[in-house]
Structures are given as structure tokens and as C-alpha cells.
Amino acid sequence: MNLQDLVYFHHLARSLSFTATAEHFFISQPSISMALKRLESELDTILIDRRKVLKRMVLTPAGDLLYKSADEIIKTLDTTKRLIRDIEQESVYYGFLPTIGGHFLPKILPKIVRFTKSLKLIEEESSDVMLKLILEEKVPIAIIGHETPFILQNKIKQIQLLEEEMSLWVSKTHHLAGSKSVSAEEIQEEVFISLSEGYTHQRVFEKWANEYRIKEPNIVYAKEIKTVQSIAASTHMVAFMSDILLGNRSDLVKVPLKKAPKFYISLVINTEAKNTYIQQQFNDAVIEIVQNGF
């Protein structure tokens, strides 16, 4: 079986368009047709029902089976190509979240100097996205945030680094700025600003807000951490964040929250990932550093 024919079929099965497939690969439509015919001849079956009586082409059961198999084959091939490239270039990958990573990376990097020339940071804003990349073996190791003490994924090794209580953050002129601590019941009428869906903080906040029956329109969501901070610093809104997200901002005042929910930060590694030798060395070095308390 010609591997390129399989690649063409994979795209054709997804798009169900000879034109779109040909344009995607910058080749002629007859080339795509010939690739399909070669596959059908080799497998002795019809893969795509393209009768004119149909409004559009459809995959046959055999075509659907081949599409699913081709999807796995192409993903495996892409992973293998990346691993071979990484072997040649001696690349190592580390998942990096600007907020959380910015706190821990300066403590780790000085102790892994031998890897710095090979290090490639894969940056994401969301811990949820980063965890997904780790599970998909696109990122081998990262430090992420999570809302429960344990990440319940079979192939994830987790080393907890930090446990923080969530706090409220307000401008210096806000009436809560001088409070030693507040309870949820005392702030029912406040307008809160929090990170939007896709962030761990959003789930922690919504669980807390639902528990104490804080509902919209008293809640505003933003997609960026800096946006949440800036709005809280310049308005009457109350931000709901962990200390680690604040960085060096001096225009916000912390208001401790009674019975505050917690936010956890861990180093996570996919134990089933197909790592290169140098990547595994890097992973082991980072694990040793964090286990020794940096």
C-alpha cells in the first residue's frame, strides 16, 4: 500500500471533496482519483460511495474503517517523525504557562544548564489545554494548576509543588481593601470578575459561587489574567485569584477569604509517552530537582 495514497484518502474521507483535497495537497483532482482507485483495487472494495444519485459522497463501512485506521497510522507516523527529528536535534520539550511557569522556571533552569541549548518551551495560557497536550503526548512534562489534590488520569505522574488558598483582590480604594478577612455571606452584593471557561480558576470560582449562591449579573468573566487584574485595579469589581497569579502587581490589595477554596500546582509527566533518550534525561532531572525542593 502506498503511504501517500493513504494520506490523500484520509483527507478526502474527512472533506468528502476531491476539489478540496487536491487543493490542500497542491495536486490535480485526477491524482486524488487515481490514489483512491489504487486503494480500492488493492483492498478489493469500495471505500467512498460516489454515485451521482447521492447528493454528496459518503464513506462506505469499509471506507469508514480505513479512515479510522489511517487516522491512527498518520498520527503515529507524525509522532515518529518528530521523535526522529528530536533525536537528530537533541531537542527537549517543557510545557510552560506564563503565570505559573514564570514562578517556578527561574528556580529550575539554573539547575539544568546542560539542557538549555536543547530546551524548547511549549507555551499555553490554560492548564486545561496543557493537560490535554500531555495526555496526547504532544508535551512530555509541564507544571500546571488544578482544582483537586489529585489528577485522576491513569498515565499521569503527579508531583504536587504548591497548595494555595484562593483570595479576593481589590483596588486600593475599594471598601474591602482594609478588611482582615471576609466571608462569602458578607460579600453577596459585590461584583466579581474571574477567568472564563477553560481555566482552572474558573471552575474553582464557579463551584465556590454556586455553593454560596452568588449568581450573574454579579459575575463578569475575562479571557486573560492581565485583564482580570487590570479591571479589578481600576474599578469596584472584586477579582478571585490565587497569589501565584499576581506577580509583581502593587495596585491590588489582597483580601483573605474565610473558608477559601484551594488551588493546587503540580509537575505532571505522561508516563506512557514515547520519549527520546535526552527527553527522558531531562524529565528525570526536573523530577529530581522538584523532589529535592528546588
- Of 290, 253, 224, 266, nearest in space to 100 by CA: 266
Phi then psi dihedrals of residue 202, to 5 deg:
-65, -45
> Which sequence spans correspond to the domains of the chain?
3-87, 90-163+265-291, 167-260
Question: Maximum CA pair distance of the chain?
Answer: 78
CATH superfamily label, 90-163+265-291: Periplasmic binding protein-like II (3.40.190.10)
Q: Pick one of 1.20.1300.10, 1.10.490.10, 3.30.70.2190, 3.40.190.290 as the CATH number of 167-260.
A: 3.40.190.290
pLDDT value at position 75?
Answer: 86
Hey, CA dihedral for 211, 188, 204, 198, is it positive or negative? positive
The per-residue pLDDT for 53 is: 67
pTM of the model: 0.69
- Note the CATH number of domain 3-87: 1.10.10.10
For residue 110, whether the previous peptide bond is cis, meaning omega lies within 30 degrees of 0, is no
The predicted structure's pLDDT at residue 86: 65
- Structure confidence at residue 65 (pLDDT): 94
- Per-residue pLDDT, 277: 85
pLDDT averaged over 10-residue windows placed end to end, the chain, 294 residues = 91 92 93 93 92 81 93 86 71 88 89 89 91 93 94 92 94 94 91 88 89 81 91 95 86 94 95 89 94 86
Domains 90-163+265-291 and 167-260 share a fold: yes
| Structure confidence at residue 1 (pLDDT) | 83
pLDDT score of 26:
93
Angle at which helix 277-291 crosses helix 98-108, to 10 degrees, equals: 90
